[in-house]
């Protein structure tokens, strides 16, 4: 490579890495795997080593971007939170040891091998045993103060248990990771799926997205966990070794790593690393490697650090697990809105601790792009150790008679010709009476997040749809006892229970019915906002564009432009308006929410106008906060406006505010206003 080429490539790599850092850190939505990210970093480091004239400050450490978000108070770590050099190769791990052997002139060095927890780095400070602060890594020097959110973590004690013979340090910064268990991750994703919201790719992203919520009560709804594995600043300094520290942390009552290994010399280290790889899938948190640390704190200090990472520790990363298996079949599922999703039915294969037998193929284009065929052997990977994905086909093992997969032209359930709208990747069955769609719609309608009708499991729903008793949602309220009794023997009691549950559901809360309608983009919280605003199903169904917007801006707190358009579009369809009429006719009388009483009143009587893009809050979020604090949001500036809350690229409203002398505040000031009442 010529220097000119190298210079170009280095610049391109830096740019690409910066994009991925942004996605990973600030948005918690990475687009590439850690493995691919590390490969970019390594390529950059390799080029910089060869062409030092173009080198920057980067080194081949792990992601060391900057997780700080506006809206949080910045806090400077007493000791920087460094990252670790990392490797995927046994040889480089041995090289790490050789460097230390050379430095200390002895072979028998003691190490501790720990799981590398795949969470979000955090530093927790205890002063004389009291939890005083939790801060994210940020850029390593300073991070975001997330103390309020961290206090919602059940396993993080507010006070350390005293340990005999170990006086409580005056100040100690303890380092660890915040994470979500797999079960909690799945629970939240399921809730989001039911609400029609985008799913999180893996627990790490969800944990990162959660701890950076500005609304602490939202954080508390998700069960975050924490594990602590290291010490930063400590006054008076901690003597001893890493293994002793693990024990001390445990005695203080802090959650620590499930297991660690003490190893002398690199062969023992390597054995421990492999043992960890065997055991780690049974751990409560996701792990993506092993961290090898010199045990003795004194030797750690002697080894010191480079600008980015300590010389006394290294992360050995396990490559994302992949397995090759055969696609026995491709089935196509039909969703609530008729979207056809192809699914690979795999020859079951053990992957990252569980058996994988299905993987989504996303859509028609994805299959064509990867040329995935029935009978192919494919590489399957668990992204973030959770959702299996088909990475690629192994062309060498393709059967001779294989033919490209032909995506169905007709709905596999009702036989209607499918459609693909130009602006969508999805292929749909346009028949709203398709039994698959009816089943899904009904399943959603009666689910916990909607009408919450007990006794309507999927087998029952299948039976009702199959017999033609339920063709549309309101039919559920017209079921006849004598029909239901034909479904089996001894079903009197369950039938009566079911009918009673259905009867009771007629008077459920309004938001449940709104959510149950399955309006695109409208989840639980939007349904609640709509219920609070419209207070009546027919009013919602009859709402026009003007009821949602003032000019281009949405006027209902919690309901943004996309959602408003989706709602208006939904009820523009005669069959959806008919649905509302039929529900009411069937006796459904949902209850509007009580008018709010109590709560915060710091902004009582204050009228806000929002304009421009705020650094961290969406307009909907800001609106919701204003209303939660008793204030109002208006679409236009007048003399009655109390404040204009302005963000970047604010337009004519800002000019108008200045003209009328209305106070203009930014997000930081807004937060101070809220904080005056104990919010934000
Ligand atoms: S020690 C100065 N130990 O991985 C080194 N880090 O890739 C401090 N991590 O920044 C880190 N498990 O966020 C250490 N057992 C463990 C870890 C661990 C996960 C994270 C941590 C660190 C990153 C480096």
* C-alpha atoms less than 13 angstroms from C-alpha of 337 in its C-beta half-sphere: 13
Q: Is 227 in the pocket of ligand 1 (CB under 6 A)?
A: no
Buried/exposed code over 42-70 (b: 16+ C-beta within 10 A; e: otherwise): ebbbebbeebeebeeebbbbbbbbbbbbe
Where does a domain end: 317, 342, 376? 317
Q: Tell me how far apart the alpha carbons of residues 485 and 502 are, in angstroms, rounded to a whole number.
A: 16
Rounded to whole angstroms, the Cα distance separating 106 from 103 reads: 8
Question: Which CATH number covers residue 374?
Answer: 2.40.50.140
Q: Using CA atoms, how far apart are residues 386 and 351, in angstroms rounded to an integer?
A: 10
Q: CATH number, domain at 55?
A: 1.10.287.610
> Could you tell me the distance, in angstroms and rounded to a whole number, from the CA of residue 23 to the centre of ligand 1?
20
Give yes or no: residues 419 and 439 share one domain: no
The predicted-structure confidence for 19-48, as pLDDT tens digits, reads as follows 887 777 666 666 777 777 778 888 888 888
Measured from the Cα of 114, ligand 1's closest atom is: 15
Query: For atom 22 of ligand 1, which residue has the closest CA?
Result: 83
Q: Is 623 in the pocket of ligand 1 (CB under 6 A)?
A: no
- Indicate if 196 and 301 belong to the same structural domain: yes
The alpha carbon of residue 51 and the mean position of all alpha carbons in its chain are separated, in whole angstroms, by 39
Question: Which atom in ligand 1 lies closest to the alpha carbon of residue 61?
Answer: 7
Angle of the 265-279 helix axis to the 90-104 helix axis, nearest 10: 140
Q: Are residues 420 and 480 in the same domain?
A: no
Answer whether residue 81 is part of any domain: no
DSSP string of 394-460? -GGG--TT-------SB-TTT-PBPEE-TT-S-EE---TT-HHHHHHHHHHHHSTTTT--TT--HHH
- What share of the chain has pLDDT > 90, as a percent? 51
How large is the average pLDDT for residues 38-62? 71
Question: From ligand 1's centre to the CA of 61, what distance in Å?
Answer: 11
Question: ∠ CA(460), CA(465), CA(467), 5° rounding?
Answer: 95
Q: State in Å: Cα 255 to ligand 1 middle.
A: 15
Residues 148 and 208 in one domain: yes
For ligand 1, atom 15, the nearest C-alpha belongs to 116
Between CA 127 and CA 147 the distance in angstroms is 14
Distance of CA 398 from the midpoint of ligand 1 (Å): 42
Shortest-distance atom of ligand 1 to CA 121: 13
Exposure of 518 by Cβ count < 10 A (0-12 exposed, 13-18 middle, 19+ buried)? buried
Contact criterion met (CB below 8 Å) for 224 and 153: yes
**pLDDT for the residue numbered 543:** 93
Beta bridge partners of 263: 111
The torsion defined by the Cα of 564, 419, 402 and 333, in degrees rounded to 10, comes to 50
Annotated catalytic residue, options 7, 8, 31, 116: 116
Identify the pLDDT of residue 264. 97
Residues 10 and 145 in one domain: no
In-domain check, residue 69: no
291 lines ligand 1 (CB under 6 A): yes
524 lines ligand 1 (CB under 6 A): no
Is the residue at 602 inside a domain?
no
Which of 49, 14, 19 lies closest to 31 in space, CA to CA? 19
Listed in sequence order, the residues at least 6 apart from 439 whose beta carbon sits closer than 8 Å to its beta carbon are 458, 461, 462, 465
Contact between residue 122 and residue 176 where contact means Cβ atoms under 8 Å apart: yes
Q: Does 17 reside within a domain?
A: yes
Residues 177 and 309 in one domain: yes
Mean pLDDT of 649-672: 85
CA-nearest residue, atom 17 of ligand 1:
116
Tokens of 626: 């204003």
Distances 555 to 506, 617, 627 between C-alpha atoms, Å: 30, 16, 12
**pLDDT digit string (tens) for 98-107?**
999 999 999 9
Could you tell me if residue 626 is inside a domain? yes
As a whole number, mean pLDDT of residues 188-207 equals 71
CATH of the domain at 539: 1.10.150.20
State if residue 411 touches ligand 1 by the CB under 6 angstroms criterion: no
Residue 672 has pLDDT above 90, yes or no: no
CATH of the domain at 615: 3.40.50.10190
Residues 347 and 408 in one domain: yes
Tokens representing 319 are: 């490559």
Split at pLDDT 50, 70, 90, the class of 62 is very low
Mutate to test the pocket of ligand 1, among 173, 291, 310 (most ligand atoms within 8 A of CB): 291
Beta carbons within 8 Å of 18's beta carbon, 6+ residues apart: none
CA 171 – ligand 1 centroid, Å: 21
Asked whether residue 591 is domain-assigned, the answer is no
Q: Flag whether 75 is in a domain.
A: no
**Residues 471-526: tens digit of each pLDDT:** 999 999 999 999 999 999 999 999 999 999 999 999 999 999 999 999 987 877 78
Share of the chain above pLDDT 70, in %: 92
**313 CA closest ligand 1 atom index:** 5
Q: How far is CA 382 from CA 210, 593, 595, 611, in A?
A: 22, 43, 47, 42
212 pLDDT band, cuts 50/70/90, is confident
User: Which letter does DSSP use for residue 53 in this model?
Assistant: G
For residue 369, what are its two tokens? 């792009």
CATH number at 313 reads 3.30.470.30
Residue to substitute in 88, 116, 135, 259 for testing ligand 1 pocket (most ligand atoms within 8 angstroms of CB): 116
Ligand 1 pocket check for 680: Cβ under 6 Å: no
pLDDT over threshold 60, residue 596: no
Domain count, the chain: 6
Q: Which strand ranges, in their side-by-side order, compose the sheet holding 287-294?
A: 86-87, 313-317, 287-294, 110-117, 261-264
Q: Is 208 in the pocket of ligand 1 (CB under 6 A)?
A: no
- Per residue in 447-463, pLDDT (tens digit) is 888 999 999 988 999 99
Q: Domain check: are 309 and 355 in the same one?
A: no
Q: Is 102 a catalytic residue?
A: no
The pLDDT value recorded for residue 374 is 97
DSSP string for 582-627: HHHHTT--PBPPPPP-SS--TTTT-EEEEESB-SS--HHHHHHHHH
Q: How far is the CA of 76 from the centre of ligand 1 (A)?
A: 19
CB of residue 114 inside a 6 A radius of ligand 1: yes
Q: Of the residues 317, 333, 349, which one is the last residue of a structural domain? A: 317
Cα(295) to ligand 1 centroid in Å equals 15
Whether residues 403 and 478 share a domain: the answer is no
Residue 70 pLDDT class (50, 70, 90 cuts): low
Instruction: Summarize pLDDT for 379-417 with one digit per residue, the tens.
Output: 998 765 566 888 889 999 999 999 999 999 999 999 999
Q: Is residue 68 one of the residues assigned to a domain? A: no
- Domain with 642, as residue range(s), is 607-676
**Do 113 and 199 fall within a single domain?**
yes
| Claim to verify: residue 96 and residue 45 sit in the same structural domain | no
The residue out of 372, 398, 427 marking a domain boundary is: 427
Q: Which atom of ligand 1 is nearest to the CA of 310?
A: 2
| Residues 602, 677 contacting (CB under 8 angstroms) | yes
Ligand 1 pocket residue status of 346, Cβ below 6 Å: no
Q: Does 97 contact ligand 1 (Cβ within 6 A)?
A: no
Tokens of 525: 């919280």
Residue 205: the pLDDT is: 80
Which residue has the CA at smallest separation from atom 21 of ligand 1? 121
Tell me if residue 235 falls in helix, strand or coil. strand
**H/E run at residue 36:** helix 34-50
Both 237 and 258 in one domain: the answer is yes
């Amino acid at each position: 490579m010529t220097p000119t080429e190298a210079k170009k490539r280095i610049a391109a790599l830096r740019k690409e890495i910066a994009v991925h850092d942004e996605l990973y850190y600030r948005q918690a939505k990475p687009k590439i795997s850690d493995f691919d990210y590390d490969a970019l970093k390594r390529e950059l480091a390799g080029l910089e080593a060869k062409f030092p004239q173009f080198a920057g400050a980067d080194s081949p450490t792990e992601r060391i971007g900057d997780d700080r978000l506006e809206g949080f108070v910045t806090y400077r770590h007493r000791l920087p939170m460094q990252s670790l050099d990392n490797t995927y190769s046994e040889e480089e791990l041995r090289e790490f040891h050789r460097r230390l052997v050379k430095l200390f002139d002895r072979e028998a060095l003691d190490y501790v091998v720990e799981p590398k927890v795949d969470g979000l780095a955090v530093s927790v400070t205890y002063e004389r045993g009291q939890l005083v602060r939790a801060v994210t890594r940020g850029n390593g020097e300073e991070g975001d103060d997330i103390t309020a959110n961290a206090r919602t973590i059940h396993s993080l004690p507010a006070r350390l248990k005293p340990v005999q013979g170990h006086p409580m340090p005056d100040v100690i910064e303890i380092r660890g990771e915040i994470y979500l268990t797999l079960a909690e991750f799945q629970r939240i994703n399921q809730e989001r799926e039911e609400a029609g919201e985008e799913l999180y790719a893996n627990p790490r992203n969800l944990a990162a997205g959660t701890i950076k919520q500005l609304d602490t009560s939202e954080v508390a709804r998700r069960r975050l966990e924490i594990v602590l594995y290291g010490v930063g600043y400590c006054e008076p300094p901690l003597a001893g070794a890493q293994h002793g520290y693990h024990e001390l942390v445990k005695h203080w009552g802090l959650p620590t790593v499930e297991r660690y290994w003490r190893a002398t010399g690199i062969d023992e280290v390597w054995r421990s690393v492999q043992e960890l790889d065997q055991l780690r899938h049974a751990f409560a948190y996701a792990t993506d490697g092993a961290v090898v640390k010199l045990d003795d704190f004194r030797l750690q200090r002697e080894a010191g650090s480079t600008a980015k990472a300590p010389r006394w520790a290294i992360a050995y990363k396990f490559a994302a697990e992949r397995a090759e298996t055969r696609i026995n079949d491709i089935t196509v599922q039909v969703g609530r809105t008729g979207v056809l999703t192809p699914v690979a039915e795999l020859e079951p294969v053990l992957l990252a601790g569980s058996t994988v037998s299905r993987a989504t193929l996303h859509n028609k284009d994805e299959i064509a792009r990867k040329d995935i065929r029935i009978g192919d052997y494919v590489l399957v990977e668990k992204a973030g150790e959770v959702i299996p994905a088909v990475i690629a086909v192994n062309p060498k093992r393709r059967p001779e008679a294989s033919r490209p997969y032909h995506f169905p032209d007709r709905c596999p359930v009702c036989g209607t010709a499918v459609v693909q709208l130009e602006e969508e990747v999805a292929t749909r069955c346009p028949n709203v009476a398709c039994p698959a769609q009816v089943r899904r719609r009904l399943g959603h309608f009666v689910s916990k997040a909607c009408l919450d009708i007990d006794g309507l499991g999927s087998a029952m729903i299948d039976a009702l749809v199959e017999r033609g008793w339920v063709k549309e949602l309101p039919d559920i309220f017209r079921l006849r006892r004598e029909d239901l009794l034909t479904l089996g023997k001894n079903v009197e009691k369950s039938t009566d229970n079911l009918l009673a549950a259905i009867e009771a559901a007629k008077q459920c809360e309004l938001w449940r019915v709104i959510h149950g309608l399955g309006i695109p983009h409208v989840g639980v919280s939007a349904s609640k906002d709509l219920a609070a605003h419209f207070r009546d199903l027919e009013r919602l169904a009859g709402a026009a564009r003007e009821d949602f917007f003032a000019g281009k801006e949405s006027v209902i707190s919690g309901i943004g432009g996309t959602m408003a358009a989706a709602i208006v579009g939904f009820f523009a369809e005669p069959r959806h308006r008919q649905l509302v009429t039929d529900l009411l006719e069937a006796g459904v009388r949902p209850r509007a929410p009580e008018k709010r009483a109590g709560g915060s009143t710091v902004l009582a009587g204050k009228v806000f106008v929002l304009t421009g893009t705020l650094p961290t809050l969406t307009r909907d979020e800001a609106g919701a906060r204003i209303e939660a604090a008793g204030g109002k949001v208006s679409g236009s500036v007048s003399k009655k406006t109390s404040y204009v809350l302005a963000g970047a690229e604010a337009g004519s409203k800002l000019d108008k505010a200045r003209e009328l002398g209305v106070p203009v505040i930014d997000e930081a000031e807004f937060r101070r206003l809220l904080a005056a009442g104990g919010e934000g």
